[in-house]
Structure 1
Amino acid sequence: MIASVSGTVLTRRPDHVVVDCAGVGYRVFVSLTTFCELPECGHPVTLFIHTIVRDDHIHLHGFLSEAEWQAFGNLVTVSGIGPKVAQAILSGIPPVELYKAIRAGDAARLTAIPGVGKKTAARLVVELEGRLPKDTGQGEAAEASAEPLGQDAVSALMNLGYPEAKAKKAVDRAIKGSEAGMGLEGIIKSALKAVVG
């Protein structure tokens, strides 16, 4: 799984960038937010990557900020929201503002985002509200540190043969019930108990 790409910008488009990494050009889909902050062609760049694997393709979605990368990872877990819609959402609102709107249940703000209708806004609130930080200070920092652990734990369960949906549910339950500072191994063990039980 590709986690990041570092190289030289070859081409820039509103929806994607091609990065030359040691002679190999990687096409990476980007949000408008990332596109606007990209360096010009010929300059170095490093992108956080979320890899989407399908039967007929492998797509790389890249972000300059870790916060946007994490928000994308959250969005694609919501039923009915695929990578293109998730990227469109992040093109219309920064992660912090998105989280504030979800916490507040602000349907008007959410439906103002391109690609988000009333049903999608409702799903965002219902499916993501419990996984967002409680506040905009230390809570968001805790969310940022916990999110990669959760993704690693889900990946570990999937490698053991558990379906993605079941793995995510078990890991979410394990993280909510975990003690502060619990590491990846502890989360995986707790999630395995949940998924087996």
Structure 2
Amino acid sequence: MIGRLRGTLLDKQPPWLVVDVAGVGYELEASMTTLVALPAVGEAVSLYTHLSVRDDAHLLYGFLRDQERTLFRALIKVNGVGPKLALAILSGMDEAAFRRCVLDDDVKSLTRLPGVGKKTAERLIIEMRDRFPHWESPEPSLSGLEGGSQPGSSEQDPLADAEAALVSLGYKPTEAARMLSGLEGEGSTEAMIKAALSRRMAG
């Protein structure tokens, strides 16, 4: 099991990133919450990881904080929730926001996430009440961090990359385009994704 990687961030094309560890490039998929908080390409990075082994692939997921990984692992134990949906949930809200939804029976907020219908939201609330990790000293939320691609990013078309990333999370192309409408001025892919998700959840 690969539990953590420390190396150099080689590339980030949401929702994917590549980390060089002693000459080996590890490709990971990450939530938008983690991606918007990553350092610039070429800088050092340390990520908690979760390895998913399937018959046709070994998939590695990266998380900036152990708490996000803990929640990811709890989510994929819920009936009907796989890694893709778990990442979509973590991309739309951080751990603190998700915990509030569970404790407040907030089905409406959960159904704003791609792939989460009313039944899935209700199942998440019921099952996660027992599985949700309890932290005595929660780490600061990432929602207040400044997003934005930083010098060295390999992005060519931030708007197209942002739309592709949203589609990969489960949003329909037309919905992704609508979420990004008017956000061209945000500049970077990560900043546009963050603004689009915030707009969607506030919707």
Which residue of the partner structure matches residue 94 of structure 1?
Answer: 94
Distance in 1 of aligned mates of 2:97 and 2:8: 31
Distance in 1 of aligned mates of 2:15 and 2:101: 25
Contiguous gaps of at least 5 residues in structure 1: 134-138, 145-197
How far residue 143 of structure 1 moved from its aligned partner, in angstroms, is 9.8
Which residue of the partner structure matches residue 8 of structure 1?
Answer: 8
Question: How do 1:67-106 and structure 2 match up within 5 A?
Answer: 67-106=67-106
Give the structure with higher Rg (CA).
1
How far residue 93 of structure 1 moved from its aligned partner, in angstroms, is 0.4
Distance in 2 of aligned mates of 1:63 and 1:108: 26
TM-score by length of 1: 0.67
The answer to whether 1:126 aligns with 2:121 is no
Which residue of the partner structure matches residue 140 of structure 1?
Answer: 135
Which residue of the partner structure matches residue 61 of structure 2?
Answer: 61
Distance in 2 of aligned mates of 1:132 and 1:6: 27
Which residue of the partner structure matches residue 110 of structure 2?
Answer: 110
How far residue 132 of structure 1 moved from its aligned partner, in angstroms, is 3.0
Which residue of the partner structure matches residue 193 of structure 1?
Answer: none
> RMSD across aligned C-alpha pairs, in angstroms?
1.7
SS of match in other structure, 1:140: coil
How far residue 42 of structure 1 moved from its aligned partner, in angstroms, is 0.7
Q: Deviations over 1:120-165 (max 9, x none)?
A: 10110121112336xxxxx522899xxxxxxxxxxxxxxxxxxxxx
Count of residues in Structure 1 that have an aligned counterpart in Structure 2: 139
Which residue of the partner structure matches residue 31 of structure 2?
Answer: 31
SS of match in other structure, 1:11: strand
Bigger fraction of residues in helix = 1
TM-score by length of 2: 0.65
Task: Select the structure with the greater relative contact order (CA < 8 A; seq sep ≥ 6).
Answer: 2
SS of match in other structure, 2:77: coil
Contiguous gaps of at least 5 residues in structure 2: 140-203
